[in-house]
Amino acid sequence: MNNKDNTIVLASASPRRKMILERLGIPFIVMPADIDETLPDLSPEDAVKELAVKKAESICSAGQLKHRWYLAADTMVLIDGKMLGKPADIIEAEAFLGALSGRKHQVITGIALFDAEKREMRTGTDSAHVWFAALTDKDITWYLSTGEWNGAAGAYRIQEMGECLVEKIEGSCSNIMGLPIRLFFSILLSAGYPAYNLPSG
Amino acid sequence: MNNKDNTIVLASASPRRKMILERLGIPFIVMPADIDETLPDLSPEDAVKELAVKKAESICSAGQLKHRWYLAADTMVLIDGKMLGKPADIIEAEAFLGALSGRKHQVITGIALFDAEKREMRTGTDSAHVWFAALTDKDITWYLSTGEWNGAAGAYRIQEMGECLVEKIEGSCSNIMGLPIRLFFSILLSAGYPAYNLPSG
């Protein structure tokens, strides 16, 4: 392990998370974690944290600690205390959008950052609320036709055309995208990562 | 003028506004407006709307109505009722970040969409609140070193590294970026623009 190596190993194939690391000018490589994503029987905040920790541990082992920094995150969409995962098909996507229409829901992201040099795992969670507009049938038909529902928790992508459906949010935009930037930045600083040298030259 | 032409003429050189049109799959060309940006003696909401209308009118004339759709926007950052424009230099940028640190401010965007076929101007405004974290001297020194303050109203860019400084927002992320997507989408629909056909194939 090279202790001067600031590369972050990211346990996620999510293009949104990659985009956020690029935006921060952080050097990184992607190593998607292969874990059992069954939700632990915990509060939503503890569950996303636990899954993030599992993912980070999984890529540490897989990566044989060739690098120092390992990052994982898990994001959950909740309405009426019920979790909306990724829709199985367009029928379920339509049902999800109908359930979100005209109402407020919650998005929670847990982060885990492992420092393989100090053998320290740091975690945190961030929560946001999202108010969907009252959607017409045309809105829903249109949005389904964009295909963005596919692979998206809650069947929408706020950072793409999905924001057309959103009245407002309260929280952090990047949390809803899957990696809350302010929380991540403060975890990096507390872990001793040279975040004040970003973007890495 | 070709009435089947869905190209939007955008009165802004802002990369953020261009990015939002790209994200929506809208065909567009850029024609920056050259107007006197002195703020009219109006409420902030009316002032941004008025400036957006002026910009849209200016590019209509300049474009000699070769296209049907003309879009302009104006964004204002306000704290304690005082407007923060683009900082003149790094000293002023530092003062702006100091003024925003640990506090809530407001971001207001006005939009104007002109339909040259029907000779109709549609307008709207959107407002968001942004809570800055209490910044340390290191935070400010670091953020100034990224250069993002340059050319940014309020001296930060939330869609880039600036979100590291932001605790949370209440409103629309795209408003703070300079073009509130939901408002824009609803103006497009009310104007008869084929927004339900987006992304344009």
Q: Is the pLDDT of residue A3 over 70?
A: no
Q: Which of A31-40, A58-67, A170-179, B40-49 has the lowest mean pLDDT?
A: A58-67
The pLDDT-based confidence of A60 (bands split at 50, 70, 90) is confident
* Chain B residue whose CA is closest to A144: B196
Identify the active-site residue in A41, A74, A137, A139. Answer: A74
For residue B140, the one-letter residue type is I
- pLDDT score of A64: 67
Residues 108 to 147 of A: which have CB under 8 A from any B CB?
Answer: 128, 133, 138, 141-142, 146
Closest-approach residue (CA) in chain A for B137:
A196
B179 three-class SS: coil
Is the pLDDT reported for residue A81 higher than 80?
yes
Task: Yes or no: say if A128 and A171 are a contact pair by the CB < 8 Å rule.
Answer: yes
What is the DSSP code string of B79-145?
Answer: ETTEEE---SSHHHHHHHHHHHTTSEEEEEEEEEEEETTTTEEEEEEEEEEEEE----HHHHHHHHH
Amino acid present at B157: R
Q: Does residue B173 belong to any structural domain of this protein?
A: yes
Is residue A201 over pLDDT 70? no
CATH code of the domain in which B159 resides: 3.90.950.10
Q: Tell me, yes or no, whether A1 lies in a domain.
A: no
Contact A161 B25 (CB under 8 A): yes
User: A23: which chain B residues are within 8 Å (Cβ-Cβ)?
Assistant: 159-161
pLDDT for B201 = 61
Any domain includes B1: no
Q: Which two tokens stand for residue B196?
A: 């339900």
| Of B21, B2, B18, the residue nearest B188 (C-alpha) | B21
At A34, is the pLDDT very low, low, confident or very high (cuts 50, 70, 90)? confident
Residue B2 lies in a domain: no
Q: Structural domain tally of chain A?
A: 1
Asked if A24 lies within 8 A of B164 by C-beta distance, the reply is yes
> pLDDT at residue A175 above 70?
yes
Q: Encoding tokens for residue A80? A: 């009426």
Q: State whether B23 and A198 contact (CB < 8 Å).
A: no
A114-157 pLDDT tens trace:
999 999 999 999 999 999 999 999 999 999 999 999 999 999 99
Tokens 């999202």 identify what position?
A130
Closest to B93 measured CA to CA, from B141, B129, B38? B141
Structural contact between residues B20 and B179, judged by C-beta atoms closer than 8 angstroms:
yes
What residues of chain A lie within 8 A of the CB of B163, using their CB?
172-174, 181-182
In a domain, A3, yes or no: no
Residue A13 pLDDT > 90? no
Cβ distance A163 to B172 less than 8 Å, yes or no, reads yes
Per the CB < 8 A criterion, the answer to whether B168 and A172 are in contact is yes
Q: How far is CA A28 from CA A20, A31, A70, A111, A142, in A?
A: 11, 10, 10, 16, 36
Question: Which residues of B are marked as active site?
Answer: 74
Q: Is A162 a residue whose pLDDT tops 90?
A: yes
Q: Please give chain B's pLDDT, 201 residues, in tens.
A: 666 789 999 999 888 999 999 999 999 999 999 888 887 789 999 999 999 999 999 998 876 678 999 999 999 999 998 999 899 999 999 999 999 999 999 999 999 999 999 999 999 999 999 999 999 999 999 999 999 999 999 999 999 999 999 999 999 999 999 999 999 999 999 999 999 999 986
**Distances in Å between the alpha carbon of A125 and those of A129, A144, B26?**
14, 30, 35
Candidate from A170, A185, A199 with C-beta closest to B146: A199
Residue A197: CA count within 13 A, CB half-sphere:
8
Report the mean per-residue pLDDT for chain A.
Answer: 93
The parent domain of residue A16 ranges over 8-197
What the block records as the tokens of B164 is: 């590291």
Of A167, A171, A190, A170, nearest to A180 (Cα)? A171
The yes-or-no verdict on residue A200 having pLDDT over 90 is no
Question: What pTM, to 2 d.p., does this model score?
Answer: 0.93
In a domain, A14, yes or no: yes
The DSSP secondary-structure symbol of B68 reads: S
- Catalytic site includes residue A74: yes
